[in-house]
C-alpha cells in the first residue's frame, strides 16, 4: 500500500467487494419482484399478468426500498473508476518523463 492510499479518506474497494455489492443488490431486486409476484399469485391473478404487474411495481419499490445497497454499489463503482483514472494519470506522467511544473522559458 502506497502513502497516497493510506492518506486517502476512503479505501478503494476490491473487485470482490464490488462484485459482492452488485450481487447483493441484484438478489434483493429479484426478491422484491418475487415477493410481489407471490402476493399476486396468492390473490389468484393469472401468471403472466402477475409477472407484468410485479415488474412494474418492483422497479419503483426497489428504488425506494433498496436505496442504501444501490448507493453502496454506486459508491464502490465510483471509487474504483476514480482510482483507475488516478493510476492512469500517474502512469502517463511517468511515461512522459515526470511533471513539467517549470517548463523551459
Per-residue pLDDT of the chain (105 residues; tens, 9 = 90+): 454 444 556 788 888 888 888 999 999 999 999 999 999 999 999 999 999 999 999 999 999 999 999 999 999 999 999 989 999 999 988 898 866 555 555
d(C-alpha 28, C-alpha 93), whole Å: 43
Place of cell 399476486: 40
Report residue 58 as a C-alpha cell.
418492483
Work out the angle between the directed axes of helices 67-95 and 47-65 (0-180°, nearest 10): 60
d(C-alpha 54, C-alpha 6), whole Å: 46
Amino acid at each position: 500500500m502506497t502513502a497516497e492510499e493510506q492518506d486517502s479518506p476512503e479505501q478503494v474497494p476490491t473487485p470482490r467487494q464490488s462484485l459482492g455489492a452488485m450481487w447483493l443488490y441484484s438478489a434483493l431486486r429479484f426478491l422484491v419482484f418475487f415477493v410481489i409476484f407471490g402476493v399476486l399469485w396468492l390473490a389468484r391473478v393469472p401468471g403472466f399478468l402477475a409477472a407484468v404487474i410485479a415488474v412494474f411495481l418492483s422497479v419503483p419499490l426497489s428504488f425506494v426500498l433498496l436505496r442504501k445497497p444501490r448507493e453502496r454499489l454506486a459508491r464502490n463503482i465510483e471509487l474504483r473508476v476514480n482510482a483507475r483514472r488516478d493510476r492512469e494519470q500517474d502512469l502517463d506522467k511517468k511515461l512522459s518523463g515526470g511533471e513539467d511544473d517549470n517548463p523551459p522559458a
